[in-house]
Structure 1
């Protein structure tokens, strides 16, 4: 037994460490997925902060330097080298400046930034150059900037520094992204994601195998659906949905404490769901009752018993009559004897008060020797009346003739009551009052449940659970 226990503990700990490892791998994959999703929109930020990262990751997204903008920057580098070698006024330098002016016009006209959805970057370049040269247009600004006269008058080194510090980063941010045969941008992220998917697929298979082994009645599809959210880990699209299984795994392996969040979500869901469900059920039930009253179903049920559906008795006993009979018997045989002194005191008080108001009783009290007689008579009458009443009730219960007469009396009262209710002036008004009363209940009580009552119920349940835990 000890060896088996140790073996089970060993496998349990190993499985727990394995699941933690898978959860960590899932978290790393999810981080990579979100980085990939943000890479294109945030590439300018990565280019400024981590330029080495863009050099590594650009090929994954099929990003290459744009030929036109890269050629433009190469010409600027060639210009710097030529000025250092032959000076600013040499023919070779003038040829390069002329090429830069031509390339600047082509940059403005053809807008190579549009392919990468970076036309706003070109607009910023044009505006910076126009302000720097004090020209009215960006075209004139570039023509002035790439001229021997301007560079000579304003110190060409400071102008090249301006270009390299402000204009060059903006031009470098442009790129060309290749297109595959399906007309979509090249994206090789699946190569990075494939090893993770293989790991997740193996884990899903292992989990499914264990679930099917522990539940022989489940087939493999049903076993997979027991953890349906793990299938998001295998999708090569909508990868952001992996946040669901990864979060669940991190929580289940105690790597992340999501218990407060889970409790709050459960509480909010319970409040909203219970409130809406209670309101819908209450409103629907009242609406059905109102419709039944309008159709006359209630009147037919009350006044035409032959139209009622047969009532199914579970144990061949009319529980309503049995309960009524038992309560009546308990009241007569058990309760009434215990409260008989109180009843006698009440009867004695009322009888004495009635006799005191009688002139004959008052005269008898004034006769010498008979002053105590009225009190004795009252006391005897009280006891006799109470005893007679109690005995009569007992005899009524035990006498079949009395029972039959009482039953006939009750049935005749009910029949007379039904006959009066069915009169034209009574039934429509009662039905109208019932419908209005139900509408008031629906407005004043049912529709207000979602506002505060469910919240109070949930708070009471939480307090009870807290007391139980303590």
Structure 2
């Protein structure tokens, strides 16, 4: 007993045949047909193989395997993104592809941040979010770091001298007032700087003209004045500060005015007259060098797989990676990044692609089908109306047709299907042919041989029935014998036979073309066939509408969407199918 178990264990430990779907003989889970299980002669028993219990036959005995369930059968039509992809044999190369995909994704995020940094610099500076610009609702995101001092040099951004002088002067005045000094000179200087800022509008350099208007409006509202300059003079005057303590008044300036002033900046211009942008230096050093090395590595792997491919052709096949090396239109890097994330297995984009493609197909299916069908029918009508139609039929002969290889497909099909129909299919239809022929003979005898008065005799009718059955059986047997003989002869590979078949086919096309040329059939046939195609265009194409396309999409959903859990758990065994069990031989 122990030796038998050891022998079975040794046989089970040996490699199984390769399976593209991951067949597990112990759990019975399989999303397809294992390679080598269904051979050329077993394709007709495919359903029986899936539905019936499977027995693993070893040299020392047989082990029954579980019956496949409905969930296993459904996995054959499951969506492509539900199938498990096999891992690559080169683990190091796969890890490199994943690293480059993650590095490219990080680069894409940095590109998006760089593109939006200047328009969103105020947000990164203040870290305040205004959900409703028209309402005084502010969400302070203090947990975000202030990155402007570190990233401003990358974009060539510096503090504006006029607004920075305004902030420094206010800071000096604030310290003096908090110390208890009147600071009248500092207050007058601050009023003068406010007037100068209103007159010069330094916010034009950064495209923030609206910021100055916000400052002026807040000064007017605070002082209840129509002039922003008079409002600043009043708010920093002795009378106002005598009624309003500076500890409260400074809160208005620090919360309502100074943050707006601090948003202004100055950006340098390069020699080409464009704003300074040093992002390309980091992009070239940290990212594009890695992308270039990866593209060359992929091209080398492609050339190793296809030795006849040149470097130029290999690089052209990686044309989708071109945005990774372009210093402009960096947002196009989304295309190669998505492709790399998909191919590396980090992100599965197939469901999204399927939804988008399905929407496009649903929108354009009717128009595309109409255009293709009309083009096909118009081309057929043009071919049929052509006076060269008989000549084109004559070109179907073997010595005038273009063949990819030396094999004549039509002759070979006749040689294969002839024995199949004559030797296999025809003899199996003998009972049905006998019944049909006997019935026809009986009806003929009743109407022509037997007088109407004698048809009531039961004995005569039985004799007639037996006679017709014997005649039909003899005729069918003779036909079947002749059919088997002809099939067996056709099944033999004979060069003379092939030549005769080819001559027969060529003669048929030649005679058909000659008959069309010599008689009045050609013109009438052209009219009838073209009229038939025209009717197809007017009737069938008119019935194609959006409803039919939607029905096709729903039918596709039924094939690809997984069923309910209850339906998946219901087994389909040999008892339900009524098919006998079969075994699968496995030998080392």
Relative to the length of structure 2, the TM-score reads 0.57
1:456 aligns with 2:555: yes
1:107 aligns with 2:233: no
Q: Distance in 2 between matches of 1:87 and 1:374?
A: 143
1:312 aligns with 2:426: no
Aligned to 1:61: 155
1:151 aligns with 2:236: no
Count of residues in correspondence between the two structures: 414
Aligned to 2:535: 436
SS in 1 for 2:154: helix
Indicate how the Cα distance of structure 1 residues 123 and 309 shifts in structure 2: closer, same or farther if over 3 A, else same.
farther
Who wins on radius of gyration, i.e. which is larger?
1
Once the two structures are overlaid, the 10-residue window that deviates more, 97-106 or 336-345, is: 336-345
1:73 aligns with 2:167: yes
5+ residue gaps, structure 1: 1-10, 366-370, 395-410
Show CA shifts across 1:29-56 (max 9, x none): 3333222222112211111235642112
Structure 1 position 185, deviation (Å): 0.8
Within-5 A mapping of 1:416-431: none
1:225 aligns with 2:319: no
SS in 2 for 1:61: coil
User: Contact 1:290 / 1:438 at 8 angstroms: preserved in 2?
Assistant: no
Q: Pick one of 184, 192, 215 that aligns with 2:282.
A: 192
Indicate how the Cα distance of structure 1 residues 278 and 330 shifts in structure 2: closer, same or farther if over 3 A, else same.
farther
User: Contact 1:282 / 1:446 at 8 angstroms: preserved in 2?
Assistant: no
User: Contact 1:286 / 1:442 at 8 angstroms: preserved in 2?
Assistant: no
SS in 2 for 1:72: helix
Q: Could you say what the CA RMSD is over the residues aligned between the two structures, in angstroms?
A: 4.8
Q: Distance in 2 between matches of 1:29 and 1:390?
A: 80
1:204 aligns with 2:295: yes
User: Contact 1:212 / 1:220 at 8 angstroms: preserved in 2?
Assistant: yes
Structure 1 position 325, deviation (Å): 10
Q: Distance in 2 between matches of 1:228 and 1:328?
A: 53
Q: Distance in 1 between matches of 2:179 and 2:421?
A: 123
Show CA shifts across 1:189-219 (max 9, x none): 2232232123333343344344434543222
Aligned to 2:218: 128
1:26 aligns with 2:104: yes
User: Contact 2:374 / 2:537 at 8 angstroms: preserved in 1?
Assistant: no
Q: Pick one of 41, 48, 51 that aligns with 2:119.
A: 41
User: Contact 1:279 / 1:446 at 8 angstroms: preserved in 2?
Assistant: no
Q: Distance in 2 between matches of 1:208 and 1:30?
A: 23
Show CA shifts across 1:153-201 (max 9, x none): 2223321221012211111011111112211111122232232123333
Aligned to 1:142: 232
Higher relative contact order (CA 8 A, sep 6+): 2
Structure 1 position 462, deviation (Å): 8.2
Structure 1 position 81, deviation (Å): 3.5
Show CA shifts across 1:113-162 (max 9, x none): 12111122222212211111111233332232232222222223321221
Structure 1 position 230, deviation (Å): 3.3
Indicate how the Cα distance of structure 1 residues 77 and 218 shifts in structure 2: closer, same or farther if over 3 A, else same.
same
Q: Distance in 1 between matches of 2:309 and 2:344?
A: 25
Once the two structures are overlaid, the 10-residue window that deviates more, 313-322 or 204-213, is: 313-322
5+ residue gaps, structure 2: 1-88, 128-143, 399-406, 481-511, 563-567, 573-588
Aligned to 1:179: 269
Q: Distance in 1 between matches of 2:215 and 2:161?
A: 18
Once the two structures are overlaid, the 10-residue window that deviates more, 211-220 or 159-168, is: 211-220
Relative to the length of structure 1, the TM-score reads 0.69
Within-5 A mapping of 1:266-345: 266=354, 268-269=356-357, 272=360, 275=365, 278-290=369-381, 296-297=385-386, 305=390, 309-313=394-398, 338=431, 339-345=433-439
SS in 1 for 2:152: helix
SS in 1 for 2:273: coil
Aligned to 1:402: none
User: Contact 1:62 / 1:178 at 8 angstroms: preserved in 2?
Assistant: yes
1:245 aligns with 2:357: no
Show CA shifts across 1:348-375 (max 9, x none): 367558899846x48xx7xxxxx67754
User: Contact 2:291 / 2:324 at 8 angstroms: preserved in 1?
Assistant: yes
Indicate how the Cα distance of structure 1 residues 280 and 79 shifts in structure 2: closer, same or farther if over 3 A, else same.
same
Structure 1 position 386, deviation (Å): 6.3
Indicate how the Cα distance of structure 1 residues 383 and 459 shifts in structure 2: closer, same or farther if over 3 A, else same.
closer
Indicate how the Cα distance of structure 1 residues 291 and 306 shifts in structure 2: closer, same or farther if over 3 A, else same.
closer
Structure 1 position 287, deviation (Å): 3.1
Q: Distance in 1 between matches of 2:297 and 2:416?
A: 60
User: Contact 1:19 / 1:253 at 8 angstroms: preserved in 2?
Assistant: yes
Q: Distance in 1 between matches of 2:421 and 2:344?
A: 63
Within-5 A mapping of 1:380-399: none
Aligned to 1:404: none
Indicate how the Cα distance of structure 1 residues 357 and 194 shifts in structure 2: closer, same or farther if over 3 A, else same.
same
SS in 1 for 2:266: strand
User: Contact 2:178 / 2:247 at 8 angstroms: preserved in 1?
Assistant: no
